[in-house]
Amino acid sequence: MNPDEHLSIYPHDVHRFSTLSLEEWQQGIVLPVSKPLQWTSFDVIRKLKPQLPVKKIGHAGTLDPLATGVLVCCVGRATKLISTFQEHLKVYCTTFTFGETTPSLDRATPVSQTKSWNPMSESELEAVIESHFIGTIQQVPPMYSAVKKDGKRLYNYARKGEEVERQPRDAYIESCKILDYNGRQCTLKIVCGKGTYIRTLVDDLAKAVDSMGVVDELQRTKSGPYHIDEAWDIHKLCDALKQVKTV
């Protein structure tokens, strides 16, 4: 499918739902959705599917339950574009804390380790980021992830307290800018490629400055051309979809 053949519908296009034909839905619709906190990416798909006049729906990039932000949902033949959308650059904003960590590397699990740390200056931290975390880097997938090992998801091992060997993978970081830093907490804006684990990036950065790090908040603010400011609230989208013609 040609990427130009699908129709993207944003909140300001809400009137379009009352006029779309079944054929147009089948041809392909893209709905950028703002994933709520504590929802899985599949929760969004599961919520939308009964509201749609076609059966095919998928998303172009998983977000952790504690992450929020843009989830690109593809309907009908637009599902054939998922792999194309996954290759688009993503933009994330994350706030994390130095000096402690958790098994999941975010606040989904309790603090498991702490480490005293003498904070460095913002310029020193920027220098570490620029020298070690820009371009193609290597990341070991976190244990709390959906990557498979011997046919099982890593999070299944992690939930039993098991840790298994994982192979490092390439990740691409186009830019990583400090938005706020007080010596204890730091907020970063990250532009990156497919398959980048922000939790791992934070963990690796903290280790690079002889500390530990845990993600407090994470939001995907952009996925390819889709920006959080133009993404649907999931509940408002479900209400809007009540206008959809089913024949």
Residue-wise DSSP of 158-224: HHTT-------EEEEEEEEEEEEE-SSEEEEEEEE-TT--HHHHHHHHHHHTTS-EEEEEEEEEEET
Write down the pLDDT at residue 154. 81
* pLDDT by residue, tens only, the chain of 247 residues: 555 567 999 999 999 999 999 999 999 999 999 999 999 999 999 999 999 999 999 999 999 999 999 999 999 999 999 999 999 999 999 999 999 999 999 999 999 999 998 999 999 999 999 999 999 999 998 888 877 888 878 888 888 888 888 899 999 999 999 999 999 999 999 999 999 999 999 999 999 999 999 999 999 999 999 999 999 999 999 999 988 865 4
Task: In whole angstroms, give the CA distance from residue 85 to residue 223.
Answer: 8
Write down the pLDDT at residue 237. 97
> CATH number of 3-87+225-243: 1.10.10, 3.90.120, 3.30.70, 1.10.390?
3.30.70
Write down the pLDDT at residue 125. 98
Domain boundaries, the chain: 3-87+225-243, 90-223
Task: In whole angstroms, give the CA distance from residue 96 to residue 182.
Answer: 11
How many CA atoms lie within 13 Å of 112's alpha carbon, on the beta-carbon side?
11
Write down the pLDDT at residue 2. 56
Which tokens sit at 34? 């703002």
Predicted confidence (pLDDT) per residue in 9-68, tens digit: 999 999 999 999 999 999 999 999 999 999 999 999 999 999 999 999 999 999 999 999
Write down the pLDDT at residue 5. 61
Active-site positions read: 64
Which tokens sit at 137? 């880097």
Are 205 and 213 in contact, with CB atoms under 8 Å apart? yes
Write down the pLDDT at residue 166. 87
Write down the pLDDT at residue 3. 55
Write down the pLDDT at residue 190. 98
Task: In whole angstroms, give the CA distance from residue 173 to residue 244.
Answer: 40
Architecture of the domain spanning 90-223: 2-Layer Sandwich (3.30)
Write down the pLDDT at residue 245. 65
